[in-house]
Structure 1
Amino acid sequence: MNYDPKSIESKWQQKWEAERAFEPSEDQSLPKKYILSMFPYPSGRIHMGHVRNYAIGDALARYWRKQGVNVLHPIGWDAFGMPAENAAIKHKRHPKEWTYDNIAYMRKELGALGLSFSKEREFATCDPLYTRWEQEFIIRMFEGGLLYRESTTVNWCETCHTVLANEQVEEGCCWRCDNPVVQREMPGYYIDIVRYAQELLDDLEQLEGKWPAQVLTMQRNWIGRSQGLEFRFELNDASKAKLNGCFDGYEVFTTRPDTIFGVTYSALAPEHPIVRHLIEHKLLDDEVIERIEAIINMSERERAQAEKEGYPLGISVIHPLTGEDIPVWTANFVLASYGGGAVMAVPAHDERDYEFATKYGLPIKRVIEGGELPYTGDGELVDSGVFTGKPNREAMKEIVAFFESEGLGTSQINYKLRNWGISRQRYWGAPIPLIHCPTCGLVPEKIENLPVTLPDDVEITGEGNPLESHPTWKHCTCPQCGGKATRETDTMDTFIQSSWYQFRYATDPKKWNETGIDKEDSAYWMPVDQYIGGIEHAILHLLYARFFTKALRDLGYHDIDEPFSRLLTQGMVLKDGAKMSKSKGNTVDPDAIVERYGADTARLFILFAAPPQKELEWKDSGVEGAYRFLKKLYSRKEKVSHRSLPEIDHDALAPEAKEARAKVYEALRKSGDVYEKTFAFNTLIAATMEALNALDKQSDPAVWSEGMYILLHLLEPIVPHIASELSEELFGRENLRRSIPLKEEVFVTESITYAVSINGKRRTEVAVPAGAEKEEILALAKEAGAKWLEGMQIVKEIVVPNKLVNFVVKPA
């Protein structure tokens, strides 16, 4: 009779594997559910933060299988990346060896938890067969102009020796190592994600109510659409001469054309070509040049948080409408990546411009009537030429129309989103399948020669890119002319691999050699019905995966617009008040819990301790409590006398038995919402615990049998081993595959408890027969509240059905 989780769990895990229980059916006429948790990086061991992610997905996958739905629930390994190289340096091991050893260990850990992943669809993103198709996608993007190479200023991490995308710089530091990032000019490869900016923005509407509002807001803000006026500031003659005739002027973008008459200065980004020219030709003081170069070496986020700083450039531009000379400065708040790296400054109506103008004593000119400066609201224009007196919103459209009619500027849409830099100067990544030929230029490798794989004979030192210094790997022949050429030694950003993996899972493994993405399989399985992962991926991974889906659709690989229908962002697991992570040394190893208490205990605790969207504070006592509940559940099998759902005459039951049945069916009624809508597993588990306690207070064997039958059915997705064991022993395994109808008669109560209030203050309560008329309710309430009503005149009687009676009284 003792609960032995180790033997039970080993038995069922072997049985499930032998039965291929978690492999999806090939029958695409069946209704489907694609449940996907963000895949792990094979860092060596999993912790309970990982378990939370996978336990949520597994509960949903098991639930839908019980409903007769064809379920795809895969797992894989996000296996390329810098941590493997860093580990290779530290442990003097090859990154490939380290990665695959970790995969083997973590696969065993996940298996011990009884997670119902498809084994046949598992892959690692460093597998050559995965790289082969990814490289084909990159070649098609290059051929279509979506991928290009150019030399630009990039974010460089000196510690990791690689370029970072803007999204990978957090508060001026590398997202991986947390060390400062500097700006460096170098060539690299970029994907034109901005080409899809408007579609990425528009299609967020499809995800309203299905994705967390916070994630949708973060994506909208990151894309950052703005509409306004683009026009040209012409340099005056003296400024053209100072710049040796190399520049006539520059383009400016503004979202506030209504304030154009209030421009008192213009500001350029420190990286702007005009500023660079002034620096290179020593046309500025040495001290100013030194300060500007220091700003250039700051990340965009650092500059955004820094105090406003700038320097006059000794040049001026001509206001396009007034003809006035406008002084030009360089300022740290102007970014080269947005609007051409130049702004018109209107300090009277922009907080940033006002702060800068106030600091440096620049003129401030009001052009909209309103409150104190800087005034950013609406009002009538003043001192604005022919537009004076007009409401600023109305004048905005007229000013844009005037610029266009006079050939001075155009209406324009801009985005904060920048093109995706995918070059990484590291070894452990997918090689970019392009070749440098002195005759043909930059050309793609032939498709039939893919995959371009990494050489194994490298030494990882952390200094430079081993592919660059390899004696033979980079030397090749040009696919076009056959002459001597060299391979590109940059490897791809690892976010490439996680941007299309959902399509690889959806493709039947028997087709993996012939295709990267099968169009028919994608049409059936995609989009993912439920995606599960951390909020930290709200911008990076999710935006890239959405973009890749649209780009591969346009290249003809599938017909899907959005990859993930619904998104659940689970809260972090905390220990000692901090996020559970290896770097903080506060992880809890699930192996130790499984060894001592069993996998079902680990799963039950992680789903019971908090709602999945909320943070979870780790408590050892909670694990003990989960284990005690499972032992109690297991011990109650002796109470079961029926081998199926018994027929029960509810009216003939004792009150305790009726209460127990009501608790059991309350849990059953709650389960549909939990598994299909709210994912509040903690409330369902609490309901099953209450039901078991209620069953303990009665002795009817039929009620016990029915209760255990239903509770095992409800708990199987959460604690599958013990539920499967008890179901097989008590009822046969078919219990777990049957739907159980609600029986409304168990919810019929003989009386309803009403609160009795006097002048809104609760005084007592009274039991009222179910179905009683208002007069009877009032009579019983008056009787119950007699001592508070004595000597009082009842002014008003209020009855809230099934809840309360309130008497409004005054002294008689």
Structure 2
Amino acid sequence: MSDYDFEAMQRRWQPVWESLGLFTADGSGKPRRSLVDMFAYPSGDLHMGHAEAYALGDAVARFWIQQGYDVLHPVGWDAFGLPAENAAIRRGAHPAEWTYANIGTQAESFRRYATSIDWRTRLHTSDPSYYRWTQWLFLRFLERGLAVRKRAAVNWCPVDRTVLANEQVVAGRCERCGSAVTKRELTQWFLTITAYAEQLLDDMAELEGHWPAPVLTMQRNWIGRSAGAYLDFGPFEVFTTRPDTVFGATFLVVAPDSALAGSLCSAGQRPAFDAYVSRVRGESDITRTAAGRAPTGVFLGAHGRHPFTGEPLPIWAADYVLPGHGTGAIMAVPAHDERDLAFAQTFDLPVRPVAGTRDTDASPDFLAGMDREAATARLIAEAEARGVGRAGVTYRLRDWLVSRQRFWGCPIPVVHCANCGIVPVPDDQLPVVLPDLRGEALAPQDVSPLATVRDWVEVDCPRCGGPAERDTDTMDTFVDSSWYFLRYCSPAYGKGPFDPDAVGRWMPVDQYVGGAEHAVMHLLYVRFFTKVLRDLGLVDFAEPFRRLMTQGQVVLNGAAMSKSKGNMVDLGEQIDTYGVDAVRLTMVFAGPPEEDIDWADVSPAGSVRFLGRVLRLASEIGAASPAAADHAQRSTPGPTLHRGSPATSHFTELSRSSEPPSAHPVDSRELWITSGDPGLRRTTHRLLAAITELMEEQRLNVAVARAMELANAVRRAIDGGLPAGDPAAREAAEVLAVVLSLFTPYTAEEMWARLGHPPGVARAGWPRADPALVAETTVICALQVNGKLRDRLEVPADITTDDLTALALASPVAAGRTVTRLVVRPPHVVNLVVSGP
């Protein structure tokens, strides 16, 4: 490692790049592309997961820049949230102090990590200049009836003492702190994402092939569309996906913690019911619906009425029915549902099998002989004709609970007036700025710490002028992150959440990069937000991200890294030991982006050795063929690299077009030499063509492997006698430097300098491979005898079957043998089937 001085390179090139402004989106007429990384939370310095995500995204952004696109690659911080608040409590400080100190640390690490960021885009969601517009957007949702305040049974984290959205509860525990989640009946703010459930499902067709299939599957399952029927059982309707089994219903069940259960309970059953509800509210949804759990319940002292037979059916409250699913009530068909059967057996309720063939109920004449699909359709039609039911669709998706009983978040911009009710804060009074709270004053309780700041809470009603109070909840931080990518286009814009013209130029995002763990939280919410913004006339597209790349986790010895487990790998220490480029290269080369990386199985030291070899290669070739000497060999004009000119002059302007960026030809440079070792030139051009295709397919780890092949090919050629000054060697080294600029920017820049070029390899221009050299003029054909390899033939790539047959039969392998049959697969294989040895 001594001859690979990464610290010196990092000190040398970082200030040079900043002075050149290599990654500033210039808004020129060139075709545009935008790449957005899921922005970081400032809980400390960057960690190993960040290192992987930003290495992957940066390679794609740099590839586009090399191709001549005007690329927007922004940066920002998801700066509100509980970790900052908890840290402030421990330190007796304000959450902003911890937050912005960590942002400063991370910003320096981003620069050190050589990410191709346009720093003019920088934003923080905790800045009043940002959350002013989060509040403004909330009020637009409120105007459209998409932000509602209602009482509901909600998830409650007893440790963080705040409510959680369903998506933030994992296996019955708080997604952030891991504590067991309970239920509470509270009045909270919701965004009605359910109003867009069908659109969220239907529009996935636009994302097929561009988003990872597992992410789309997770979203479909989470939305959970179910078609069936609503049937009227007297006191209430139930929704069922199997209306054809209605004649097997023997009792009804309602969620005990629903308003419906309380309204149905008779006076005599009230004590037992109240005790049961108190117990149920201490359980999570996961616990209540767990398979194999012993059923519990209480009879409500009420009956419903079968919609077809008029039979009275007893109504029970049972915890396996949840208040937010369907109508919060079910028809129990114990002969055809395991949980209903277990409940019926426990409480000695009737079990009535559906009496028919082919999985239908044939007891009523109108269903006799039908299969399930036909019986379902017929029963719904009959229910509608009798006025006891109708066709319907339900979703597993619930409205998005956005209230949080904590301080460090975006205040909800409404006041509560005894005369006027809920009153929006006027737009010209935004932002509603957080007061100054710190230390123990932030300690979690059953209400938000904001409720204790009476001079902040008590205000005049904007409508009537009477006494009113601010809403003391703050918004879920996922609201902040549902529109931030739009703000990147114009982070200082003051007339709205974003400049419509800038959004029109850059959005939707061409490439989004981040973790798959956000599949049913952030990615679902941001799709919902985008559709609402479209309906508000603020954007003209329905999907926020054209393409999504998800990366796996960085683990250690098969286990997720955790401070509590003591198995953390410190990114800063890895960079101090091996250098930025070696860490970046290791991350990308470890495997496909979507797979986990086990840091115990990879080798930054191996990356260091490879990078040292390519630097030595560049030094040899640069010393043997000075840059000035090779100008005379240029055979074609065009966007070639001009020695001594600024890096930005390597581009040719491309005309603007209404076509999407992918329709434009890329701006690249010709590989212009006409002399040099032909074998090395063919290898260079074939590998370049392969790398270009692999980058387009985002198979980044394989692209790195091909770059390593190119470095090895040049080394072998020189060690085998090719002069280091041969034009083919210089050509290969230049291609290698440009390719490595995507993954190892410091080393690539150093190579570029040693090859005699001015700074700016990141904008050198992507080399264009010569099709004539890429084409395989000859290939190696395997000559087999009875399936065993006996010889190899070098044959033309386009050889015909007849010619290959003749060549095989004339070979020494065929001499003296009786060939009974030939299997010919030009140009790669010929198998001679012979009799005898």
Q: TM-score, normalised by structure 2?
A: 0.88
Evaluate the alpha carbon distance shift between residue 768 and residue 634 of structure 1 in structure 2; reply closer, same or farther with a 3 A threshold.
Answer: closer
Secondary structure (helix, strand or coil) at the match of 1:283 reads helix
Distance 2:43 2:673 in 1: 56
Say what the alpha-carbon RMSD is for the aligned residues: 2.7
Which deviations, in whole Å up to 9, do the C-alpha atoms of 1:754-802 show, x marking residues without a partner? 334444x434332243365656644665687859x97x75432101112
Distance 1:175 1:192 in 2: 22
1:407 corresponding residue in structure 2: 387
Correspondences of 1:308-387 after superposition (within 5 Å) = 308-311=294-297, 313=299, 314-358=301-345, 360-367=347-354, 369=356, 379=359, 381-387=361-367
2:443 corresponding residue in structure 1: 461
Correspondences of 1:366-765 after superposition (within 5 Å) = 366-367=353-354, 369=356, 379=359, 381-458=361-438, 459-464=441-446, 465-507=448-490, 509-510=491-492, 512-619=493-600, 622-637=603-618, 638-640=620-622, 641=625, 643=627, 657-677=677-697, 679-698=698-717, 699-700=722-723, 701-733=726-758, 736-747=763-774, 752-759=779-786, 761-765=787-791
122-131 vs 146-155, greater mean Cα deviation: 146-155
Structure 1 vs Structure 2: percent identity of aligned residues? 39
Whether the 8 Å contact between 2:791 and 2:813 is mirrored in structure 1 is: no
Which residue type is aligned with residue 722 of structure 1?
Answer: T
1:7 corresponding residue in structure 2: 8
Whether the 8 Å contact between 2:32 and 2:506 is mirrored in structure 1 is: yes
- Stretches of structure 2 lacking an aligned partner (at least 5 in a row): 635-670
1:36 corresponding residue in structure 2: 36
Deviation at 1:224, TM superposition (A): 1.3
Is structure 2 residue 249 aligned with structure 1 residue 263? yes
Distance 1:41 1:650 in 2: 49
Distance 1:18 1:224 in 2: 52
91-100 vs 662-671, greater mean Cα deviation: 662-671
Whether the 8 Å contact between 2:247 and 2:361 is mirrored in structure 1 is: no
Secondary structure (helix, strand or coil) at the match of 1:755 reads strand
Deviation at 1:425, TM superposition (A): 0.4
Distance 1:461 1:753 in 2: 74
1:374 corresponding residue in structure 2: none
Which residue type is aligned with residue 340 of structure 1?
Answer: T
2:223 corresponding residue in structure 1: 223
Deviation at 1:553, TM superposition (A): 2.0
Deviation at 1:413, TM superposition (A): 1.7
2:95 corresponding residue in structure 1: 95
1:16 corresponding residue in structure 2: 17
704-713 vs 796-805, greater mean Cα deviation: 796-805
Whether the 8 Å contact between 2:276 and 2:298 is mirrored in structure 1 is: no
Distance 1:284 1:395 in 2: 40
Distance 1:777 1:398 in 2: 67
62-71 vs 275-284, greater mean Cα deviation: 275-284
Which deviations, in whole Å up to 9, do the C-alpha atoms of 1:324-354 show, x marking residues without a partner? 2223333332121111111112233334434
Evaluate the alpha carbon distance shift between residue 333 and residue 807 of structure 1 in structure 2; reply closer, same or farther with a 3 A threshold.
Answer: farther
Distance 1:93 1:54 in 2: 31
Evaluate the alpha carbon distance shift between residue 490 and residue 292 of structure 1 in structure 2; reply closer, same or farther with a 3 A threshold.
Answer: closer
Secondary structure (helix, strand or coil) at the match of 1:215 reads helix
Evaluate the alpha carbon distance shift between residue 198 and residue 48 of structure 1 in structure 2; reply closer, same or farther with a 3 A threshold.
Answer: same
Which deviations, in whole Å up to 9, do the C-alpha atoms of 1:541-568 show, x marking residues without a partner? 0111011111122223222211111111
Secondary structure (helix, strand or coil) at the match of 1:496 reads helix
Evaluate the alpha carbon distance shift between residue 672 and residue 280 of structure 1 in structure 2; reply closer, same or farther with a 3 A threshold.
Answer: farther
Whether the 8 Å contact between 1:25 and 1:70 is mirrored in structure 2 is: yes
Which residue type is aligned with residue 689 of structure 1?
Answer: M
Q: 1:295 aligns with which of 280, 296, 302?
A: 280
Distance 2:13 2:303 in 1: 79
Distance 2:103 2:164 in 1: 26
Distance 2:673 2:13 in 1: 36
Distance 1:503 1:303 in 2: 40
Whether the 8 Å contact between 1:766 and 1:781 is mirrored in structure 2 is: no
Which residue type is aligned with residue 669 of structure 1?
Answer: A
Evaluate the alpha carbon distance shift between residue 366 and residue 452 of structure 1 in structure 2; reply closer, same or farther with a 3 A threshold.
Answer: same
Deviation at 1:291, TM superposition (A): 4.5
Evaluate the alpha carbon distance shift between residue 625 and residue 416 of structure 1 in structure 2; reply closer, same or farther with a 3 A threshold.
Answer: same
135-144 vs 382-391, greater mean Cα deviation: 382-391
Deviation at 1:527, TM superposition (A): 0.5
Secondary structure (helix, strand or coil) at the match of 1:26 reads coil
Whether the 8 Å contact between 1:76 and 1:122 is mirrored in structure 2 is: yes
Whether the 8 Å contact between 2:297 and 2:319 is mirrored in structure 1 is: no
Whether the 8 Å contact between 1:518 and 1:557 is mirrored in structure 2 is: no
Whether the 8 Å contact between 1:157 and 1:181 is mirrored in structure 2 is: yes
Distance 1:440 1:772 in 2: 86
2:262 corresponding residue in structure 1: 276
Deviation at 1:610, TM superposition (A): 1.5
Whether the 8 Å contact between 2:586 and 2:602 is mirrored in structure 1 is: no
Evaluate the alpha carbon distance shift between residue 325 and residue 809 of structure 1 in structure 2; reply closer, same or farther with a 3 A threshold.
Answer: farther
Deviation at 1:493, TM superposition (A): 0.5
Evaluate the alpha carbon distance shift between residue 515 and residue 296 of structure 1 in structure 2; reply closer, same or farther with a 3 A threshold.
Answer: same
Which deviations, in whole Å up to 9, do the C-alpha atoms of 1:690-745 show, x marking residues without a partner? 11111112224222111101111111111122212322442424764334222244
Distance 1:382 1:714 in 2: 70
Which residue type is aligned with residue 288 of structure 2?
Answer: R
Q: 1:769 aligns with which of 786, 789, 795?
A: 795
Deviation at 1:455, TM superposition (A): 1.1
176-185 vs 595-604, greater mean Cα deviation: 595-604
Correspondences of 1:126-165 after superposition (within 5 Å) = 126-165=126-165
Deviation at 1:290, TM superposition (A): 3.9
Which deviations, in whole Å up to 9, do the C-alpha atoms of 1:523-545 show, x marking residues without a partner? 11111000011110000001110
Distance 1:167 1:717 in 2: 36
Distance 2:694 2:568 in 1: 29
Which residue type is aligned with residue 469 of structure 1?
Answer: T
Which residue type is aligned with residue 313 of structure 2?
Answer: I
Which residue type is aligned with residue 398 of structure 1?
Answer: R
Deviation at 1:135, TM superposition (A): 0.6
Which deviations, in whole Å up to 9, do the C-alpha atoms of 1:394-422 show, x marking residues without a partner? 22222212211222122222111111111
Evaluate the alpha carbon distance shift between residue 769 and residue 676 of structure 1 in structure 2; reply closer, same or farther with a 3 A threshold.
Answer: closer
Which deviations, in whole Å up to 9, do the C-alpha atoms of 1:554-590 show, x marking residues without a partner? 2232222111111111111111211234454433333
Distance 1:523 1:750 in 2: 47
Whether the 8 Å contact between 2:415 and 2:461 is mirrored in structure 1 is: yes
Secondary structure (helix, strand or coil) at the match of 1:57 reads helix
Whether the 8 Å contact between 1:89 and 1:462 is mirrored in structure 2 is: no
Secondary structure (helix, strand or coil) at the match of 1:340 reads coil
Distance 1:772 1:582 in 2: 62
Evaluate the alpha carbon distance shift between residue 25 and residue 752 of structure 1 in structure 2; reply closer, same or farther with a 3 A threshold.
Answer: closer
